[in-house]
Amino acid sequence: MLRKQPAMEWRPTLGSWLLRTETPMPEWAVKKCIEFMLKVQAARRLGLMPGDTRDDLDASVKALNEGKVQQWAAGSQMDGSGEIEVFRTTQGTGKIITLGV
């Protein structure tokens, strides 16, 4: 199944990125999102002249390299409303079969 890249927002006042997802993501998936965003930011930087905008972009890249990414599990409507599935078990066994992914 083809899935699109989750939305990532740079939050300069916090010095970190916000990763908006439908459900919580495992660490390996967050790392893939970081790798993708590093490529996007590198392409954006190519056209920037020295100044505040490029300095902010460089700060965002530094945060990505340091893993400063916070997840926001926003639910199926991606707005924080409704129930968000974090854990689900097989009926009757009590064994966890998914971590919301």
Give the pLDDT confidence score for residue 1 in this predicted structure. 39
Q: What is the pLDDT of residues 66-86, one digit of tens each?
A: 999 998 877 665 555 555 555
pTM above 0.85, yes or no: no
Give the pLDDT confidence score for residue 30 in this predicted structure. 92
Number of Cβ within 10 Å of residue 17's Cβ equals 21
Cα dihedral across residues 31, 35, 36, 38: positive or negative: positive
| Token couple for 51 | 């100044």
The mean pLDDT value of the chain amounts to: 80
Decide if 80 contacts 74 (C-beta within 8 A): yes
CA distances from 37 to 34, 48, 96 (A): 5, 17, 31
